[in-house]
Amino acid sequence: MNLRYSHLLRDMSDLDDALDNGELNDTNNETSNAMANNNPSDDSAMNASRNTLANVISCLSDYDPDALPVADAQAIIRQFIQPINAVEKIALRSALDRVLAVDIVSPINVPSHDNSAMDGYALHGSDLSKEQDVKLKVIGTAYAGRAYDGAVNKGECVRIMTGAVMPAQCDTVIPQEFVRDASDTGMTIPAGAVKTGDNRRLKGEDLKAGTAALQKGKILRPADLGLLASLGIGEIPVQRRLRVAFFSTGDELRSIGETLDEGCVYDSNRYTLYGMLTRLGCDVVDMGVIKDDPDVLEAAFRTACENADAIITSGGVSVGEADYTKQMMAQLGDVGFWKIGMRPGRPMAFGKIASNGKEAYLFGLPGNPVAVMVTFYFLARQALLHMMGASTVEAPPLMRVVSQAAIRKRPGRTEYQRGILSRNSDGIQEVRITGSQGSGVLRSMSEANCMVVLEHDRAEIKAGDLVDVILFDGLT
């Protein structure tokens, strides 16, 4: 491995520090195994090699790389990408946000017994009356985890706590607040207070033994961890994490800690990418800013390719870019250069590159900070989820809300505006656009709580029209 990239061998946090401190050329080979992502059970490379971009594109009517609708770009990417299919077994807690690799069938009934949903009294439903009050004798107590084993005859009841197993003959629970004249030996049920079967949770009501509990491909959320725990499952087969390498290109870019020379900007894309990839559950390999030098670029692409499942670059894919990024992408692989019918984010490269027998998917995103985020969210994200084997590869659900003001829009491209969704004084959800929508204005993204998605064919939006939005944050 080229020593220049030996920083890749470090722990990520060290690596970030190193990048920030400009120590990129340090050598450290100690943890080289950490980079060995090529698990022998991965069949991604093999599958992928059967698929060429030309093959995929040939299925598309009127393909035009210079005017590619978002939906077509998404479809090509979807067709071309193969899941990595490598499984590891991990402890339940570690499985949060990971992709489930097998169907989980419930080994037990949940709950395992009929039990009480309330603190109250377990009784025979046949003792209840709609017309008159009923007096029952209290003969014992059932606690959660400590059942009442005795027989309960008609005319009798058992004090019962929430979660306690229902005594064999009882089918109904009356909550304690509903009864009158309660003592240790008896209580009175007012006429019609409950019906037979009320406040009883049935065995297997949550899940029956042998039925599907969770499906392969699900991204495990807190509720799923709880569900798995309720089945007594402590180790979960999940897809291994995707390893994604990324770097920025552009001679004007400076890393944090470096002097900002005349005409230069700090590289922010590596930080938004770090955030978005981490949120998606990827292992990230931050390769820093790569100078516009063919040898350096080639080495960077090769190192990334040999050590990651996917590579994300930013910058250098615009028309008329006077650099070597596009040239190197084309030289090392099967890469398409597109002008996508979207705003922001028009130029993009996509494909697969190879180096020393290893392959990696490539997403060459534009350089503008907002364009990077938009192309990531609407083109790369779905592809990465598909690679991870996730079943939820579609974009998050769109909500239709009222646009507070008119929005300029030209048909023939999908526009992604940054919006703030709120409730107006009538309680109606409405969205307004954050300030300047320039593709370099990251503040518009930071202030927004949603993306406003204006469809390809749509023209001018008037105040009060409905528009689609996707929220940035959800509950889980």
Alpha carbons 153 and 169: distance in angstroms, whole number: 8
CA distance 311 to 365: 10
Interface pick for Mg ion out of 120, 167, 250, 347 (rule CB under 5 A): 250
Interatomic CA distance for residues 30 and 33, integer angstroms: 8
Closest CA to 253 of 370, 369, 376, 373: 369
- Total residues contacting Mg ion (rule CB under 5 A)? 3
Indicate the residue among 318 and 437 with the shorter CB distance to ligand AMP. Answer: 318
Taking the complex as a whole, the smallest distance from the CB of residue 248 to Mg ion amounts, in Å, to: 9
Contacted by 190, from Mg ion, ligand AMP, none: CB < 5 to 8 Å by type: none
In angstroms, give the least distance from the CB of 315 to Mg ion.
4
Tell me whether residue 249 or residue 403 sits nearer to Mg ion (CB atom): 249
Taking CB under 6 A as the criterion, the residue among 281, 367, 389, 419 binding ligand AMP is 367
Least distance to ligand AMP from the beta carbon of 316, Å?
5
Half-sphere exposure of 387 (CA within 13 A, CB side): 28
221 CB burial (10 A radius; 0-12, 13-18, 19+): middle
- Residue 401, classified by CB atoms within 10 Å of its CB into exposed (0-12), middle (13-18) or buried (19+), is buried
CB of 368 to Mg ion, least distance (A): 9
The stretches of 313-388 forming alpha helices (DSSP H) are: 325-332, 369-375, 381-387
Quick note: the x/- pattern for Mg ion over 192-231, rule CB under 5 A, is ----------------------------------------
CB of 327 to ligand AMP, least distance (A): 14
Residues 171 and 200 sit within 8 Å (Cβ to Cβ): yes
- Is 313 a binder of ligand AMP (CB under 6 A)? no
Q: Which does residue 314 bind out of ligand AMP, Mg ion, none, counting CB within 5 to 8 angstroms by kind?
A: ligand AMP
CB of residue 375 vs ligand AMP: minimum separation in angstroms?
A: 11
- The whole-angstrom separation of Cα 371 and Cα 147 is 62
Q: Which of 109, 239, 248, 437 binds ligand AMP (CB under 6 A)?
A: 248
d(CA 364, CA 333): 12
Does position 347 interact with Mg ion (CB under 5 A)? The reply is no
How buried is 73 (Cβ within 10 angstroms: 0-12 exposed, 13-18 middle, 19+ buried)? buried
Written as one letter, the residue type at 250 is G
> Should residue 253 be labelled a site residue for ligand AMP when binding is judged by CB under 6 A?
yes
Taking the least distance from each CB to Mg ion, the nearer of 320 and 357 is 320
Write out the binding residues for ligand AMP, residues 429-458 only, by CB under 6 A: 440
Taking the least distance from each CB to Mg ion, the nearer of 217 and 315 is: 315
Residue count (the chain): 476
- Structure tokens given for 106: 């419930």
Helix 294-307 to helix 325-332 angle, to the nearest 10 degrees?
50
Select 254 or 432, whichever has its Cβ closest to ligand AMP: 254
Q: Which stretch binds Mg ion (CB under 5 A): 25-33, 207-215, 242-250, 439-447?
A: 242-250
Closest CB 367 distance from Mg ion, rounded Å = 5
- Asked whether position 369 contacts ligand AMP by CB under 6 A, the answer is yes
**Interface residue with Mg ion, options 83, 315, 364, 419 (CB under 5 A):** 315
Per-residue DSSP letter, 190? P
Residue nearest to ligand AMP (CB): 367
Instruction: Tell which phi-psi region holds residue 3, choosing left (phi > 0), alpha (psi between -120 and 50) or beta.
Output: alpha
Cα distance between residue 161 and residue 145, in whole Å: 10
120 binds Mg ion per the rule CB under 5 A:
no
Interacting residues with Mg ion between 353 and 392 (CB under 5 A):
367
* Residue pair 191/132 in contact by the 8 Å Cβ criterion: yes
- Cα separation, 387 vs 44, in Å, equals 9
Indicate which single residue of 269, 375, 403, 404 sits in contact with ligand AMP (rule: CB under 6 A). 269
Cα 221 to Cα 19, 92, 96, 385, distances in angstroms: 33, 11, 6, 15
Among 37, 115, 172, 368, which residue sits at the site for ligand AMP (rule: CB under 6 A)?
368
Residues that bind ligand AMP (CB under 6 A): 248, 250, 252-253, 265, 267-269, 314-316, 318, 321, 366-369, 440
Residues that bind Mg ion (CB under 5 A): 250, 315, 367
